[in-house]
Every structure is written in structure tokens, then in C-alpha cells.
Amino acid sequence: MQVPLSQPDITQREIDAVVDVLHSNTLSIGPRLVEFENKCAAIAGRRHGIGVSSGTAGLHACMLAAGIKPGDEVITTPFSFVASTNCILYVGAKPVFVDIDTRTLNMDPRLVESAITPRTKAIVAVETFGHPGGMIELEQIARRNELILIEDCCEGFGGSAGDRPIGNFGRAGVFAFYPNKQITTGEGGMIVTDDDRFADVCRALRNQGREGMAWLAHQRLGYNYRMSEIQAAIGAVQCDRLPEILENRRRVARMYMQRLMDNRYLILPTLGEQDHMSWFVFVVRLNDLFGPMDRDEIIRGLRASGIGCSNYFPPIHLQPYMVEQFGYQPGMFPRTEYVSARTIALPFFSRMTELQVDRVVTTLNDQLEKTLIVRKPRL
């Protein structure tokens, strides 16, 4: 692959921090974790950060700490990475999907209240592709209906909605640090919350149900969702470098925007005036001239030319295990299905060069023309 889909931004500083940990003899439960937790909490404007082994683990812990149980319903988006729905399934609750706003690609707040039933306990709201759109409204809806809002902000580290940072909404937010995210720890996640009790429960859940001092006293069923000192040390340096990383990602997004703005075949990401996007990926959408088969053809063509790309995201409700368990069918969430069939995630990472962006854009334009000529001879 000549231009990869994503690439972590690791410098000598992260490497030195890891080496320091390895010399320290404290490889888990130590000072780096506390340091990284405090940095993430500050970035999200929260009192607590709880480092965990992955974003998915963090979401699972939040579902448990929120007391979500079998028989409960949790409202969420079908247009996301599957982990935002899987965490609901882990605790035996039922995900109730709400279709998206095609401008933000997030759950449409206007459709949420009609999905609420007496069994609804919570909302898992996702900033898909890092877009903060709708979060302020969703928080108001949750408050009005006495629902627990959990923010899956795994794609939004460092962004903001209005004057509030992403991660600041609802009972708790969860960040993720897989290598394609804005900042990485290899694997890792972070719960952020202002709620002291919620934080204590999450700390216990990640550490085998331990609360308090005794190593072999387990107050509750817990898990090993701990984050190592090695991961936390990388994360702390990445936090310090966040302004530089985000600025570089904005630079790449701007280069794409300038080059694709006038492309009449594409719909580009749009932002509200109050929104500050932390760019996670750069996803373009094909317009009405194209169908799903065209999209897949274009992705194949791009890959064959050495351009990394992907179909972020297939609708969650149409994943085989979801269809099997809940009987979801095509047509149930038409906006999600429409958008999802036409998205292409292009290569996107902080160190992308202008040359690489140019190469992606040229190859994409060639593929668009080629696809239209083959499939729509009249045009």
C-alpha cells in the first residue's frame, strides 16, 4: 500500500517514555496511569479519568456502572463502529436504533423521543467520525426524559461542541486509543466522568471488582480491563503533543477540502458553526449518480492503485448477528443505509504529505470518471 489508510504518529518522545517505564520496574498500576488519566480528564473538562484496556472495555464498564440490565432498552445509532452497540449486548440489554441526520451522520435528535419506551434506560451517543453534531440536543433529551447519557467519544478526542469539549456530555464519556485514532496507546481506552461514585465503580470493574485496599477482596464481579504503564506512558506523551497532532490533522483535512470542494460527484463533511471537529478520518460520500456497487468498485480500484481506503461504516443493524437476534431488515433505517452504501474513507493521518493527498485525489478522480463511463454510458 503506497498511501496507507491510517498511520500512528509516534516520535522519539513516546519511545523514550516507554524505555523509562521498562527501566522503572513498575509495569502496571503506577504513576504513568494516574498522569495519563489526569491529562485526559483535563482535556474533556471532567473530574475523573479511568484508564482501561480498550474503548470497548470502557463502554462495557459504563453500561455496568450505569446499571443497565437484561430487559432494558438503550437508544443508539446504527451508523458507527460496532462496539457502541456491542456494549449494550454485553449486559443483556436491547439496542434500539435511531436513524441519523445526514448532515452530521450522528443519531438525529429529532427522532429520539419517539423511540423512548418505559423500558428505555440510557442513550449511547456516538460522535461518528469525530463530528460533535447533535450532542447538546441529545443531552437535553436525556435530561428531560431521565435517561442516562453515555458518550461514545472514541472518535472525537480533542474536539468540541460549542464551548464544551467532547467527552464532557452526559454521565460519562469513553475515548479509545487504537492506532488509527487521533492519539494512540497501541490498545487502550479512557472513561471520563464528573460522578465520583460512577468513577469508583468503573475503577473497581476494571480491576477484578476490587474497591479499597485489599488485593483479594472482590466487592463485585469485575474484569481485567487495566491499562499498563507502558500504554499510559505513550498516552501521556501523545496528550502533550495533542495540539500539534490535531493541527496536522486539520492541515490534511484542509488540503482534501480544497482539492475536492468543487468535485460535483462528492458530498464532503460539513460542520456546524459552533463545532470544532477533531478529525478522525476523512470520509467522502458519492452523490446520487452512484450506487453501492459503484462504491465498492471505486474502493477496489483505489486499493489496486495502492491507496488505502475503507467503507466506514456498514449499518450495524444489518450485521448478521444483529439480523439473527433482533430480526432487523434492510429499509428500517433508510438514511443510514443510504449514506453507508456511498461512503469512502480516504487515507488520513497527521503526517500525510501534500504529495500523498494529491496522489489520492488524482486516483479518486480517475476512478470516479471510470466508474461513471462503465456503468452509465449516457453520461
Ligand X SMILES: *Cc1c(COP(=O)(O)O)cnc(C)c1O
Catalytic sites, residue numbers: 181
> Which region among 81-89, 217-225, 329-337, 346-354 touches ligand X (by CB under 6 A)?
81-89
Judged on CB neighbours under 10 Å (0-12, 13-18, 19+), 196 is exposed
Q: 74 and 95 in contact (C-beta within 8 Å)? A: yes
Which of 36, 157, 178, 225 forms a contact with ligand X (CB under 6 A)?
A: 178
Which of 83, 227, 237, 346 forms a contact with ligand X (CB under 6 A)?
A: 83
Q: Which is nearer to ligand X, 84 or 356 (CB)?
A: 84
Q: Which is nearer to ligand X, 165 or 189 (CB)?
A: 189
Which of 37, 73, 99, 152 forms a contact with ligand X (CB under 6 A)?
A: 152
Which of 66, 147, 176, 322 forms a contact with ligand X (CB under 6 A)?
A: 176
Query: Is position 6 an interface residue for ligand X (rule: CB under 6 A)?
Result: no
Minimum CB separation of residue 293 from ligand X in Å reads 26
Q: For residues 200 and 71, what is the distance between their CA atoms, to the nearest angstrom?
A: 25
Write the interaction track for ligand X spanning residues 184-203; mark x where CB under 6 A is met and - where it is not.
-----x--------------
Query: Is position 139 an interface residue for ligand X (rule: CB under 6 A)?
Result: no
Alpha helices (H) along 110-227: 135-144, 196-206
Task: Choose among 334, 338, 337: nearest CA to 287.
Answer: 338
Query: Is position 18 an interface residue for ligand X (rule: CB under 6 A)?
Result: no
Count of residues touching ligand X (by CB under 6 A): 14
Query: Is position 282 an interface residue for ligand X (rule: CB under 6 A)?
Result: no
Q: 133 and 272 in contact (C-beta within 8 Å)? A: yes
Query: Is position 129 an interface residue for ligand X (rule: CB under 6 A)?
Result: no
Cell numbers found for residue 213? 485496599
By CB under 6 A, the residues from 45 to 74 that bind ligand X are 54-56
Which of 17, 154, 255, 307 forms a contact with ligand X (CB under 6 A)?
A: 154
Residue 92 CB neighbour total at 10 angstroms:
12
Which of 14, 37, 155, 275 forms a contact with ligand X (CB under 6 A)?
A: 155
Q: Which is nearer to ligand X, 54 or 363 (CB)?
A: 54
Task: Choose among 189, 182, 133, 105: nearest CA to 348.
Answer: 182
Q: Which is nearer to ligand X, 148 or 150 (CB)?
A: 150
Q: Please provide the size of the chain in residues.
A: 379
According to DSSP, the residues that pair with 369 across neighbouring strands are none
> Which region among 11-19, 150-158, 259-267, 354-362 touches ligand X (by CB under 6 A)?
150-158
Minimum CB separation of residue 169 from ligand X in Å reads 14
> Which region among 80-88, 317-325, 330-338, 344-352 touches ligand X (by CB under 6 A)?
80-88
Cell numbers found for residue 247? 493541527
Q: For residues 366 and 307, what is the distance between their CA atoms, to the nearest angstrom?
A: 13
Ramachandran sector of residue 71 (left: φ over 0; alpha: ψ -120 to 50; beta: rest): left
Cell numbers found for residue 371? 466508474
Q: What is the 3-state secondary structure (H, E, C) of 321-368?
A: HHHHHHCCCCCCCHHHHHHHCCEEEECCCCCCCHHHHHHHHHHHHHHH
Which of 3, 21, 112, 126 forms a contact with ligand X (CB under 6 A)?
A: 126
β-sheet with 343-346: strand ranges across? 266-267, 282-286, 343-346
β-sheet with 120-126: strand ranges across? 48-52, 189-193, 172-176, 148-152, 120-126, 73-76, 94-97
Which residue of this chain has its Cβ atom nearest to ligand X in the complex? Answer: 55
Query: Is position 336 an interface residue for ligand X (rule: CB under 6 A)?
Result: no
Q: Contact positions toward ligand X, by CB under 6 A?
A: 54-56, 80-81, 83-84, 126, 152, 154-155, 176, 178, 189
